[in-house]
Amino acid sequence: MAVRVRFAPSPTGFLHIGGVRTALFNWLFARHENGEVLLRIENTDHSREVEEAVEQIRRSLVWLGLDWDGEVAFQLDRLERHQELARGLVAEGNAYEDDGAIRFRMPDEGTTAWDDVVRGRIEFPNEKLEDLVLLRSDGRPTYNFASPADDMDDGITHVVRGEDHVSNTPKQIRILEALGAALPAYAHLPNVLGEDGRKLSKRHGAVSVEEFRAQGYLPEALMNYLALLGWSLDEKTTVIPPEELVRTFSLERVGASAATFDYAKLAWLNGVYLRSLAPEAYADRLVAYLRETGFEGDEETIRAAAPLVQEKVPKLGEFASFAGFLFARSEPDAEGLDGGRPVLAAARDALAGLEPFTAEAVEGALREAAERLGLKPRQAFAPIRLAVTGSKVSPGLFESIALLGRDETLARLELSAGSEPA
């Protein structure tokens, strides 16, 4: 039987990084098996629905590269079907009416068990299962009824979801059995915890997919990182691009213990992907990202600066703070200039008539000037960097100067050389 899974978020807010990890595992598993992925919005609780949430979920999945088959389904659209199924259960004596609601009759002896794909056998004593509401008194189904019912109707073969659903599983199994449905395989993924060891939530900094996107993470890096949260390929492989992930993923290698989200490792991995991009591709991505975030520097300059920052920053969002000097002047910290003013004057003289004004030529001229002043490169270039880029940290000085151009460079050198000592 062909594999068919579903990702079933509730539209109560943006797509959380833990939720997208669940979506990813569903997707990787299905694509690996040449199966199908369904996207189902579980909106049986209208009151908690957040406008825009569905659009945001959709956008997040698309950005990450997680596609799905068919149309997006909304649980509430199947209201009549749910009511029909509930009536059937009542007719068969598996459910009964109670205060206007329909309740399912849970067995009160024995156990309900299943072999979880990631956790092994899990058993629940039936006496702990309470008769749960299938249909509210207003006729809307509850999650624990609608979800398994839809799984049945959709022909879901594998339910891959977060471990917080473990205790719902015996209830859903009982319902499915009463409905006469074949049971899907269940795989409960470990939770994702914040760096304080608690379950990831909104108070843990960046947790929505959109925030990661805004900070300049690459979708393939985020995907790679997320896959590593609970799954591993082998004893040594860390960098695994999307296609490789699809090729090698298996539910059997998913671990059972909760994982802590580590922003530092994600940033490192993002840097790995950024650096592995061909220069052209890197520039394309950088421009697209900057435009998306409203950065207005001219494209030609951005593209020219791209190679200077590619090796330097782990997130595209750091571009502006690192290379912003190419687009606007900023006031250098006068204190840092102290003692460096003679160097600034020498640099200005060295660059004034330099031809051609290339990085190589600039380097030669500046090194020569430093030598004449009896300064080590380190000492000589610090004030120049500060004066030209406005910062103690910057891309390569010579490339930066060549890019800035002679006029602007000289202007900045003069400005700082003539400024008052602190």
Catalytic amino acids?
202
Among 74, 268, 327, 357, binds RNA (CB under 7 A): 268
Handedness of CA 57, 60, 63, 68 (dihedral sign): negative
Q: Whole-number minimum distance, CB 2 to RNA, in Å?
A: 25
Q: Which is nearer to RNA, 2 or 238 (CB)?
A: 238
Q: Which is nearer to RNA, 31 or 40 (CB)?
A: 40
Q: Which is nearer to RNA, 94 or 142 (CB)?
A: 142
Work out whether 136 is an interface residue with RNA (CB under 7 A). yes
Among 4, 10, 25, 282, binds RNA (CB under 7 A): 10
Q: Which is nearer to RNA, 342 or 418 (CB)?
A: 342
Q: Which is nearer to RNA, 203 or 236 (CB)?
A: 236
Q: Which is nearer to RNA, 64 or 106 (CB)?
A: 106
Binding mask 345-364 for RNA (x = CB under 7 A): ------------------x-
Work out whether 133 is an interface residue with RNA (CB under 7 A). yes
Binding mask 361-400 for RNA (x = CB under 7 A): --x-------------xx--xx--x------xxxxxxxx-
Work out whether 98 is an interface residue with RNA (CB under 7 A). yes
Among 78, 119, 315, 348, binds RNA (CB under 7 A): 119
Q: Which is nearer to RNA, 44 or 208 (CB)?
A: 44
Stretch of residues binding RNA (CB under 7 A), selected from 129-137, 176-184, 348-356, 410-418 = 129-137
Among 83, 126, 168, 301, binds RNA (CB under 7 A): 168
Phi-psi region of 10 (alpha: psi -120 to 50; beta: other; left: phi over 0): beta
Residues 277-336 close enough to bind RNA by CB under 7 A: 311-314
Distance, in Å, from the CA atom of 404 to the CA atom of 421, rounded to the nearest integer, reads 25
Among 65, 70, 107, 125, binds RNA (CB under 7 A): 125
Among 70, 100, 107, 279, binds RNA (CB under 7 A): 100
Work out whether 142 is an interface residue with RNA (CB under 7 A). yes
Size of the site for RNA (CB under 7 A): 82
Distance, in Å, from the CA atom of 309 to the CA atom of 346, rounded to the nearest integer, reads 28
Work out whether 83 is an interface residue with RNA (CB under 7 A). no
Stretch of residues binding RNA (CB under 7 A), selected from 150-158, 189-197, 214-222, 332-340 = 189-197
Residues 216-235 close enough to bind RNA by CB under 7 A: 228-230, 232, 234-235
Q: Whole-number minimum distance, CB 292 to RNA, in Å?
A: 23
Among 143, 212, 273, 325, binds RNA (CB under 7 A): 143
Which residue, among 125, 152, 104, has the nearest Cα to 4 in the 3D structure? 152
